[in-house]
Amino acid sequence: MAENLVLDITDHGDLTVVSVQGEVDLYSAPGLKERVADLVSSGRHRIAVDLSGVEFMDSTGLGVLIGGLKRCKEAGGSLALVGPREPVVKVLAITGLDKVFAIHESVEQASSS
Amino acid sequence: MTTTSERFTLQLPSDPAFISTARMFACSLARHFEMDEETVEDLTLAISEACTRALAAESTNGSMLLNVAAHDGRLVFEVQQGDLRAPAVTDTPTPSHEAMAAGLSLELITALFQDAEVAVDEQGQPVLRFSIP
């Protein structure tokens, strides 16, 4: 996995949280894509991607999140975003994806939704 | 009236691992020329998107090339784009959703910098060009 991206997986009831730290770009995004795909393949279809540790994300990262959302929905689940910082919020807003993803302030909020 | 003009060039291998280096280079220049932090953040994203587009195409020389011209406080950025019709040279897998995201790249850049355009540089190479402020 790319050194500028750290992923951590935790379970909160039936919600699987993927905590992402670092920068998500063309170099690091494949690692995130692979991890989310593995989770869906293993039957975890309710996923929250915690972006509070993401300092930077470009459209490659957005593509991975869209792909993850599609996979989860096809499996009858969901993929939500948690705690994106201002630069990521701006990218989501410009692309209109802030209307596509459920965005929560905290993992607890995502878990109870 | 006195005018000042400087040029800066960064040439990197056509490897996604170096996109972050291009971002740092552009940010350092913007801060050197005292651009505000919001502009620096926008520039970071635009450079990353432009380099991603460059890597999605066959580069003419196997490298990413970033040129910056500073003229009286205005910075003009050019990222060489290569032939966007040719296959990618990178070994990095390009999943379909990432390919879709590549279509968002230009949309993002033009949203951040309204003068962004795909043009031809002095050497006849296609470049993505935009300026700040």
Which residue in the block uniquely carries the two structure tokens 């919020």? A89
C-beta of residue B5 within 8 angstroms of C-beta of residue B71: yes
Residue B125's pLDDT band (cuts 50, 70, 90): confident
C-beta of residue A76 within 8 angstroms of C-beta of residue A58: no
Best to test chain A binding among B12, B14, B44, B48 (most A CBs inside 10 Å): B48
Give A15's contacts (C-beta < 8 A, 6+ positions apart): A46, A47, A48, A107, A110, A111
- Residue B85's pLDDT is 47
Q: B38 touching A, CB under 8 A?
A: no
- Residue B58's pLDDT is 58
For chain A, give the mean pLDDT: 94
pTM of this structure: 0.88
- Residue B120's pLDDT is 86
Residue B5 clears pLDDT 60, i.e. is over it: yes
Contact A26 B52 (CB under 8 A): yes
Q: CA torsion B17→B119→A60→A70, rounded to 10°?
A: -160
Model ipTM? 0.90
Looking at residue B87, the DSSP 8-state letter turns out to be P
Residues B11-34 have a mean pLDDT of 95
**What digits encode the pLDDT tens for the residues A35-73?**
999 999 999 999 999 999 999 999 999 999 999 999 999
Using alpha carbons only, what angle is made at residue B36 by residues B109 and B53, rounded to the nearest 5 degrees? Answer: 20
- Residue B102's pLDDT is 58
Using alpha carbons only, what angle is made at residue B61 by residues A1 and B58, rounded to the nearest 5 degrees? Answer: 65
- Which among B19, B90, B93 has CB closest to A25? B19
Give A41's contacts (C-beta < 8 A, 6+ positions apart): none
C-beta of residue B49 within 8 angstroms of C-beta of residue B99: no
